[in-house]
Amino acid sequence: MLPAGYDILTPRRLKMNNVDLGNQYKKIIQFFWDPEPKNDDSEQPIWCLGCEYRQAETPCPAQSSGEPADITNRDLASTSTSTTTTSTTTDTTEKRTSTDGPPTPGSAISSFVNLASPISSSMAESSTPAWPPQFLDDFESKLWITYRSQFPPIPKTPKTGSGDSSISLGVRLRSQLIDTQGFTSDTGWGCMIRSGQALLANTLLFIRLGRDWRRGSKLQEESELVSLFADHPRAPFSIHRFVHHGATACGKCPGEWFGPSAASQCIQALVKSNPQVGLRVYITSDGSDIYEKQFKEVACDESGGIQPTLILLGVRLGIDRVTPVYWDSLKALLRFPQSVGIAGGRPSSSHYFIATQGDSFFYLDPHQTRPCLTPRAESTGDEESHPYSPEELSTYHTRRLRRLHIREMDPSMLIGFLVRDEDDWEDLKRQVREGSARGRIIHVFDRDPTIKETEREGAEEEVESFDEI
């Protein structure tokens, strides 16, 4: 704990007080405020969207690094075989005393520098179990979609500037003082949209590039996929398209936070409007119950074969937190080979959860604002010609792990599965059937009992004739 008179130095508070931090100071502040998780449950396997990873054979020295700024300078071609160490932090910090009253921001930062030195030195001499490098490669290869800025304005509605409680005060003030012509950033309100985009983007990535794809290969295909989510009205799955459908069909105005239901409806509608992506979307109207008849009506083509279909299940697994009876079932869902992750799952914000270890979930955090990428012309076929540069593509990836205990998750979430064909569908049903009955989240039934079947023509006459016999 800090002594009386000392305040907690968060990156946001430093920015509010106009304190300019160099890269070294930023890393030191992040070291304390937002430390990277360490592999302190290394006996437990890690499951990342159906793939299992075990503890690395040898420990790696602990070292501190913030959000990896060296990704753009790294040789992308070596990503899949590189062994990367991850930072950790100690469980204790040295106490400080002060008799001079509250410090200025500058002196407080200096104190943090002095404090960090002995801890960093002691950490350099220690070691911690390494994160499996194959898991880090897998994690880094997932598309990470975050807040963006400087994109073409999203028009506001009268509701945006009103006192509607569904729009935060900060968003209303920003719309009145800064984004007067429309929203040019989704910071503060677009996290559920970004999490939904990430779930959809990685679904398409699996279809186009395969589950085993890793960074550094197929840059042209990756660029063209990312371009589908560019922050521009003409991109098929841009935030502009999400907001427009949310306003016209879901009652969500620009600047209003989406929930899992609105996100799933937007995904379904936008995918249906873009059949060229080769995907279908099945969403349930009854929580986590999947009805085979209705699913196949969406998934099957004219010949009766199942085409790649994204199943989206909007669930609520408790009141304020995930009820413990669901813990094991929720963790098991990310072991399914068909899993494409979970969007939502944190109070008043949304993340994209893609892996689990023990009782913790690893996630991609959309709450970082980056300059937008606009759509680019498709490649001409030249190997060196891509819609986006490797540096631009690097903003859609991170090797920086973030972890959350299941007890801290919000119970409202959007769960996704990709079913590619009939074999995938049968395997998904088997996975659900063989799971623990206690706290089971997903159920598969033959048909929706609330939908009345259309009677065959002439059936009523046949019954009357039978009664007369």
DSSP letters, 77-132, are GGGGG---------S-------SS-SPPHHHHHHHHHHHHHHHHHHHHH-EEPPPP
Per-residue pLDDT reduced to its tens digit, 447-457: 888 877 655 45
Rounded CA gap, 334 and 357, in Å?
A: 10
Torsion angle (degrees, nearest 10) of CA 175, 177, 181, 184:
-60
Token pair 């911690």: residue:
128
Average pLDDT, the chain: 79
pLDDT of amino acid 451: 79
pLDDT of amino acid 156: 80
Rounded CA gap, 35 and 367, in Å?
A: 16
Long-range contacts: 229-233, Cβ < 8 Å, 24+?
229/145, 229/197, 229/201, 230/372, 230/373, 230/374, 230/375, 230/376, 231/148, 231/151, 231/152, 231/372, 231/373, 231/374, 232/151, 232/152, 232/372, 232/374, 232/375, 233/152
Query: Of the listed 138, 186, 365, 410, which one is catalytic?
Result: 365
Which range has the worst mean pLDDT, 126-130, 350-354, 392-396, 440-444? 126-130
Residue 91's identity, in one-letter code, is D
Which range has the worst mean pLDDT, 17-31, 119-133, 224-238, 420-434? 17-31
Mean pLDDT, residues 318-331:
96
Query: Has 191 been annotated as catalytic?
Result: yes
Residue 200's identity, in one-letter code, is L
Domain boundaries, the chain: 11-139
pLDDT over 60 at 310, yes or no: yes
Please tell me the number of Cα atoms within 13 Å of 218 on its side-chain side: 16
- Decide if 75 contacts 51 (C-beta within 8 A): no
pLDDT of amino acid 432: 95
pLDDT, greater one: 215 or 438: 215
Q: Which is nearest to 293 in space by CA: 447, 397, 398, 150?
A: 447
According to DSSP, the residues that pair with 339 across neighbouring strands are 417
Residue 344's identity, in one-letter code, is G
pLDDT of amino acid 102: 43
Per-residue pLDDT reduced to its tens digit, 143-162: 999 999 999 999 886 655 44
- Decide if 318 contacts 326 (C-beta within 8 A): yes
Q: What is the CB neighbour count within 10 angstroms for residue 105?
A: 16
- Decide if 254 contacts 160 (C-beta within 8 A): yes
Mapping DSSP to helix (H, G, I), strand (E, B) and coil, where does residue 388 land? Answer: coil
- Decide if 142 contacts 120 (C-beta within 8 A): no
Residue 354's identity, in one-letter code, is I
Query: Has 365 been annotated as catalytic?
Result: yes
- Buried (b) or exposed (e) across 320-356, using 16+ Cβ within 10 A? eebeeebbbbbbbbbbbebbbbbbbbbeebbbbbbbb
Query: Binning pLDDT at 50, 70 and 90, where does residue 75 land?
Result: very low
- Decide if 361 contacts 404 (C-beta within 8 A): yes
Rounded CA gap, 27 and 103, in Å?
A: 20
Q: What is the CB neighbour count within 10 angstroms for residue 377?
A: 8
Token pair 């939908």: residue:
451
Query: Binning pLDDT at 50, 70 and 90, where does residue 178 land?
Result: low
pLDDT over 70 at 5, yes or no: no
Query: Binning pLDDT at 50, 70 and 90, where does residue 370 land?
Result: very high
pLDDT of amino acid 65: 38
Rounded CA gap, 429 and 419, in Å?
A: 11
Q: Which is nearest to 342 in space by CA: 288, 283, 409, 415?
A: 415
Query: Of the listed 367, 421, 424, 448, which one is catalytic?
Result: 367
Mean pLDDT, residues 442-465:
67
Which range has the worst mean pLDDT, 41-50, 409-418, 444-453? 444-453
Residues composing the chain = 469
Q: What is the CB neighbour count within 10 angstroms for residue 437?
A: 7
Query: Of the listed 48, 60, 191, 266, which one is catalytic?
Result: 191
Query: Binning pLDDT at 50, 70 and 90, where does residue 28 land?
Result: low
Per-residue pLDDT reduced to its tens digit, 420-436: 999 999 999 999 999 88
Query: Tokens standing for 325?
Result: 């009876």
Mapping DSSP to helix (H, G, I), strand (E, B) and coil, where does residue 339 land? Answer: strand
Q: What is the CB neighbour count within 10 angstroms for residue 366?
A: 26
